[in-house]
Structure 1
Amino acid sequence: MAEEQKNGLADAVETGASVAHTVRGAVKAGKAVAASAKGAAVGGPYGAVAGALWSGRKHIGKIIVAVIALLMIPVMFVLMLPGLIFGGFTNAFSTADTENPILNSDTVITETANEITFTINSILNEALENVTNRIEADFTASGADGMEINNPYSSGPVYNSALFVSQYCAARSKDFSSISIDDMASVLRANKEHLYSYTYTEEIRESKETDPDTGEENTVSETWRIYTIVYNGESYFADTVFALTEEQNELAYHYAQNLSLFLGDGMLQNLTGWNGNSIASLGSVTFSDGVTQVVYFNQLDERYAGKPYGTDNIGGYGCGPTAMSIVVSSLSNETVDPVKMAEWSYKNGYWCKGSGSYHALIPAAAGAWGLPVSGCTASEAQRIVDALSEGKLVVAIMSKGHFTSGGHFIVLRGVKDGKIMVADPASYSRSEQLWDLSIIVNEASRRAGAGGPFWIIG
């Protein structure tokens, strides 16, 4: 190992420890932490080393053996990158990136982080179905005349993916070699009945019935059960399934803080709070103010919003298929509306229940319609501008900001007066505005997989 590499690692760890001492209190108080100190303060010295390794990972290079030696402290396995946690102990490289060790691979990190989010979200949706079935069974056995179900999570489950990961890893602290996404999924899925419970109240309701023989109207009393679904929370799951000790619970909390700081929280493509509303049919809309004439579709259009996307709907979860409808219809000789694209995405495995679309939908759909596609990072702003100036379209996956409160696909459709024109599948008004490139680049997801957060098509 080169002396420079040794010193670099030592300096990074020392710096991390110093930062931890300085800002740990600020993190626990919920205050902002400078970018240079991200993750270093949470969880004491373990967080310090993790933060240092994260910030210095590009300089670690070939000293992965030394890093593994450092990680013999069990709690460190959780603080490290998910790409290393889930596979890095047995594989130095991933098939997703054969050029860089897993520790240094942003591609593997983002792909794994997305897979974790999608996996947990799918299980949470299965758990919702499970509690609904239990409610229906309870109602059948009750003899009540009617029922209502209040489901506060109908627009999507609410959870902390980082905390689930942390609790799982804390429970596996003495058997870290078994840690994997598949193993975590099997544990969660086998115990999904613990994720949601329900309460109910009974009330007497009166209704009017007309006697078919006499035509007389009578008042009838019925017993109704009013059920409310309750999310038990990650803490309940930790106690019931993982049976974590008080110390493990505290460590898991700190792990989750670090993972959230390093990677951000799970990003799902759904319109928050969407309640089934739609907009009047837009008819045929075409934007002709750029180099390429763009056919526009809106996922909330009454023609598409209520149509299925898997077992979800296009209005709430179909920004991915709608974005690709815009691209394919504009760049190929075929008009493909959101319904057709949603069907294609579902049949080909790019729909993720309750989550929207896997990011791989974008390059896959482009390829299926014979359109050249290449991934692009947020650091390649000029490449994006050049592509748009040449008449190409660029699909972007956006995080919280001007376009979404979670995750959302949009289409960049041209450049005008030094600003970017977009086709937003969820907003016609935003599609008529001009946008600073800095807004789009800064708000693009840093958790994008499949070559994103930008895909140049055409």
Structure 2
Amino acid sequence: MADTNRDGLDELTNSAMAASRIAKILQAAQAAGAAGAAAQTVKEFHRQAAVVIIVILLLPILLILSLPSVIFGSLITPSDTVLTDELEVAENVITIKNNIAGILQTSYEAVLEEIAQDSQGRYSTEIVDEVGGHVTFNALQILSMYCAHMGTEDYADISIENLTEAVRSHRDDYYSYTTETESRTELVDKVVNGTLIQVPETHEYTTYTVTYAGDAYFADTIWQLSEQEQAFAADYAYSLTLYLRQIEQQEGISILEQINDLTADSTVPVAEGDFGNPFNDPAWRQHITSRFGLRPDVGLPGKDTTNHNGLDIAYGYGTPILAVQSGTVITATVSPSYGNYVVIDHGGGICTLYAHCSRLLVSVGQAVNKYDTIAEVGSTGDSTGNHLHICVIVNGQYTDPETYLH
């Protein structure tokens, strides 16, 4: 009986705390509009991603104010303000990310082309590329800065198209390069009157350094946000990241169920021999950036851990991804979280999944051998940089890939 009373008291206490938190969020909304509501939501529930979602869904008006139609798209209508399809939310965010990435990539490549033209006829040139060969940016932060800039007065104008056009209008400013020329006197071999001699010559060595203006450029120059607006954007990006993490976990479960359905009656012969690694590189473990299982949630201060269902391995954009063992491709598609991904059935209840690819090079039903090229490294889906997210599924469960990969 005492336990029952204790449980009942705990439930009342939790309900009272939740009600108090919701009241504070409503008060913040009345006092400071969308910015106050979003900031107070983060403050009250910053350790509880699921609760943040529940609170937002209980407050349809706050839902629109703090997560506008640029994200929810066709899900929001004047007569229906309740979120109905979380995957479409993720898809809209990925569309935004891809639009921004396309503009930044074009800008980056234009700078490289300028350097190529300028370097023609020069004695010796070198490029120091601080960008790293492929654009990397925080799409959620840029989206949040945009929403903070638009505010609630211009709410009707908020759209993916409007955001894309704002980013495109500054496309010539994101990447730039500096040129440094150094004169060096060197001894060079020359034949004079049939005799090989060394004579001094002065040559110019040119170094081009490529830089990115940084994500702060959007806040400081494009939208010229105040300190208050920048604080709102940071809180907003935090809330949205929490929200998408929840969707990503749900999608991981859904994809696992799909794989289990596809392999329920598998006739793929069991692969023989040890598994390799997806790059056939003896030093591949040195490229691991995040391991399987619970890990610190570096991207979300205040949130302790994330349950990571695979292994992240960082290689450059376009690096070939190889099948770690022979098998049959059972999935080659795209999803909001994983981006372009491939699943291979290796028989014996074992499958591998390769996510965030820039390109897929195989199709469903195709037989592959160990170390066949199946895709290329990228940053599609919910990703902040070029890497491969690889999962190993054994008898329907995500398993630590390092147990199998060699």
Alignment TM-score, normalising by the size of structure 2: 0.55
Q: Does 1:201 align with 2:180?
A: yes
Query: What is the alpha-carbon distance in structure 1 between the residues aligned to residue 92 and residue 387 of structure 2?
Result: 17
Where 2:172 maps in the other structure, the secondary structure is: helix
Deviations 1:345-391 (A, max 9, x none): 8xxx9799xxxx9635437xx7xxxx9xxxxxxxxxxxxxxxx9973
Q: 1:15 aligns with which of 14, 21, 41?
A: 21
Q: CA RMSD in A?
A: 5.3
Moved more, 193-202 or 205-214: 205-214
Pairing of 1:2-401 with structure 2 (within 5 A):
14-16=20-22, 44-49=36-41, 55=51, 57-58=53-54, 67-68=60-61, 70=62, 76-77=65-66, 79=67, 83-84=71-72, 86-90=73-77, 103-139=83-119, 145-173=123-151, 174-211=153-190, 214=193, 215-263=196-244, 292-293=270-271, 296=275, 298-301=277-280, 316-317=316-317, 322=322, 325=323, 329-331=326-328, 359-362=339-342, 391=349, 393=351, 395=353
Distance 2:20 2:242 in 1: 20
1:196 CA drift (Å): 1.9
Cα gap change, 1:106/1:396 in structure 2, threshold over 3 Å: closer, same or farther? farther
**Equivalent AA in structure 1 for residue 353 of structure 2:** V
Shift of 1:164: 0.8
Question: Whole-Å Cα distance in 2 between the matches of residues 226 and 182 of structure 1?
Answer: 38
Deviations 1:305-333 (A, max 9, x none): 9xxxxxxxx963568963xx458x4137x
Equivalent-residue separation in structure 1 for 2:16 and 2:134 (angstroms): 44
CA offsets 1:226-282 (integer angstroms, 9 cap, x no match): 2222221222233332233454334333333333344359x9xxxxxxxxxxxxxxx
**Structure-1 residue corresponding to 2:309:** none
Is contact 1:89–1:177 with CA below 8 Å preserved after alignment? no
Q: 1:315 to 1:46 in 2, by over 3 A?
A: closer
Work out whether residues 56 and 63 of structure 2, in 8 Å CA contact, stay in contact via their aligned partners in 1. Answer: no
Query: What SS does the corresponding residue of 1:194 show, helix, strand or coil?
Result: coil
TM score, norm. by length of structure 1: 0.50
Aligned pair in 2 of structure 1 residues 115, 130: CA closer, same or farther (>3 Å)?
A: same
- Letter of the aligned partner of 1:259 in structure 2? L
| Residues 69 and 76, structure 2, Cα contact 8 Å, conserved in 1 | no
Whole-Å Cα distance in 1 between the matches of residues 245 and 335 of structure 2? Answer: 22
Q: Which residue of 2 aligns with 1:431?
A: 404
Secondary structure in structure 2 of the residue aligned to 1:243:
coil
In the alignment, structure 2 segments of 5+ residues that lack a partner are 1-13, 28-33, 249-267, 285-313, 357-378
AA in 1 matched with 2:234: Y
User: 2:279 touches 2:321 (CA, 8 Å); kept in 1?
Assistant: no
* Alignment-mate amino acid for residue 391 of structure 1: G
Q: Distance in 2 between matches of 1:247 and 1:49?
A: 16
Determine helix, strand or coil for the equivalent of 1:257: helix
The answer to which of 255-264 and 231-240 deviates more is 255-264
SS of the residue corresponding to residue 15 of structure 1 reads helix
- Residue 4 of structure 2 is matched in structure 1 by none
Give the structure 1 partner of residue 11 of structure 2: none
Could you list the structure 1 runs, at least 4 aligned residues long, displaced by more than 6 angstroms after superposition. Answer: 8-11, 50-54, 349-352
Identity of aligned residues (%): 23
1:410 aligns with 2:390: yes
Higher strand content, 1 or 2: 2
**C-alpha distance in structure 1 between counterparts of 2:133 and 2:26, whole Å:** 39
User: 8 Å contact 1:113–1:263 — kept in the other structure?
Assistant: no
Q: Deviations over 1:187-231 (max 9, x none)?
A: 323322221222332211234433356433322212233222222
The one-letter code of the counterpart of 1:184 is L
Q: Aligned to 1:134, what secondary structure does the other structure show?
A: helix
| Aligned CA distance change for structure 1 residues 359 and 163 (closer, same or farther; 3 Å) | closer
SS of residue paired to 1:233: coil
Letter in 1 for 2:159: S
Question: What is the distance in 2 between the residues matched to 1:169 and 1:389?
Answer: 48
* Mean Cα deviation higher: 164-173 or 390-399: 390-399
Which stretch of structure 1 is more off in the superposition, 192-201 or 174-183?
174-183
Q: How many corresponding residue pairs? A: 303
1:150 CA drift (Å): 0.8
Partner-residue secondary structure (3-state), 2:135: coil
Residue of structure 1 in register with 2:301 after alignment: none
Equivalents in 2 of 1:351, 1:209: separation in Å? 58
SS at 2:184's partner residue?
Answer: strand
- Deviation (angstroms), 1:165: 0.7
SS of the residue 1:193 aligns to: coil
Shift of 1:169: 1.9
Offset, 1:394: 5.3
Q: Distance in 1 between matches of 2:16 and 2:41?
A: 10
Unmatched segments (≥5 aa) in structure 1: 1-7, 22-41, 94-100, 268-289, 306-313, 335-340, 372-387, 434-458
The equivalent of 2:310 in structure 1 is: none
**Which one-letter code corresponds to 1:229 in the other structure?**
V
CA contact 1:291–1:414 (8 Å) conserved in 2: no
Change (3 A) 1:197 1:211: same
3-state SS of the aligned residue for 1:186?
Answer: helix
